[in-house]
Structure 1
């Protein structure tokens, strides 16, 4: 039996294909290679989606789209995927079609603040920002810099995601954001104090963490 996340075809100089839980995901060197452990974020989102106050799900910094696509394949809801990288948007559309979900998936390419207007509400927001501190990105030469460089403390893009989520998560909704460490999650929570988002749980994965923020009215 092939382990979850093992390559099942294609060569690295074009496009590779992998199993991500029950989905087939294709990606290439222009985006971050999907990590099997991040399916934890998808499954957590799928647990929250049925009880969320608004049907649509938003994924920020979607990459190849695998995390959001797996979530809505497990808990059927419309999905909006956002990424700055045109290659990521192209691959997300392709992977949505591979999964038979393209009719329910909208892909928006551009800056987060530009393509997700304040007041557009989602019941669950998934965010997968780069979280590696800039000084440490050299440790991962195989990864595209755009996909991993989180600025001086690794939180530059994560802060942007949380700001967008604060204006786009419906009351009673949930935000799941992938980060590198629990300390990063707690730092974001400290900075979010006074907003409508509260940190309620951190789950640790193989190489990072997922933090859950809930929107309280």
Structure 2
């Protein structure tokens, strides 16, 4: 990672809502449409239980940062890519949220201790089926490869959310299409006490709301 003055990374920048997000080619380029996931999360947080927000597969952190930007919730961001995690720290500081954001780098389940509970979980896992990843050579494989049917990492996100959401709290899960949402809702979500509440379809993908009983 190229370092600029003050130890910050020098990468490409883009506007994401009111935020300026820095990233490079080793991190998935933020998709502008995913700000809708942040907006939905911010709306839900107005009536959510007291507690922090957890972002899984956080990338450069833009979705979670935008979700909590206008509130006072603490945000925990988890990603397997150390470069992405470094950018999340930098982007949190640039947004004036450094004191409210904790970044953890590593396996999803291992990074969330058993006793932690969250008011909302955001997840933007890789959801491209493995056989189709060659269609996106500009994207880091780690950030897009969702396994055979594109839901392998999404399933892990549901399992983590189910174990750590407060009762009545929400998981907002980004996926590629409604078929993937249906597959998860009918199997792993139900098995872990999660109910599909609603799905919103956007140009670049879908966001599904699952609620913990």
TM bucket, shorter chain: over 0.9
Asked if structure 1 preserves the Cα contact closer than 8 Å seen for 2:51 and 2:117, the reply is no
Residues 82-119 of structure 1 deviation map (CA, whole Å, 9 limit, x = unaligned): 00100011000000000000000000111011111233
Q: CA deviation at 1:70?
A: 0.2
Asked if structure 2 preserves the Cα contact closer than 8 Å seen for 1:43 and 1:74, the reply is no
**Where in structure 2 are there 5+ consecutive unaligned residues?**
1-9
Residues 17-36 of structure 1 deviation map (CA, whole Å, 9 limit, x = unaligned): 11001101001011000000
1:24 equivalent among 20, 27, 30: 20
2:74 equivalent among 75, 78, 87: 78
In structure 2, what is the equivalent of residue 144 of structure 1?
A: 140
Q: CA deviation at 1:51?
A: 1.2
Is residue 163 from structure 1 mapped to residue 151 from structure 2 by the alignment? Answer: no
In structure 1, what is the equivalent of residue 170 of structure 2?
A: 174
CA distance in 2, matches of 1:193, 1:23: 36
**Where in structure 1 are there 5+ consecutive unaligned residues?**
1-13
Q: Secondary structure of 1:97's match?
A: helix
Is residue 196 from structure 1 mapped to residue 180 from structure 2 by the alignment? Answer: no
CA distance in 2, matches of 1:151, 1:210: 19
CA distance in 2, matches of 1:195, 1:89: 28
CA distance in 2, matches of 1:46, 1:75: 8
In structure 2, what is the equivalent of residue 214 of structure 1?
A: 211
1:1-217 superposed matches below 5 A: 15-191=11-187, 192-216=189-213
Over aligned residue pairs, what C-alpha RMSD do you find?
A: 0.9
TM-score scaled by structure 1? 0.92
Asked if structure 1 preserves the Cα contact closer than 8 Å seen for 2:159 and 2:192, the reply is no
- Structure 1 segments of 4+ aligned residues over 2 angstroms from their partners: none
Q: CA deviation at 1:174?
A: 0.4
Q: Which moved more, 1:187-196 or 1:65-74?
A: 187-196
Q: CA deviation at 1:205?
A: 1.2
Asked if structure 2 preserves the Cα contact closer than 8 Å seen for 1:54 and 1:170, the reply is no
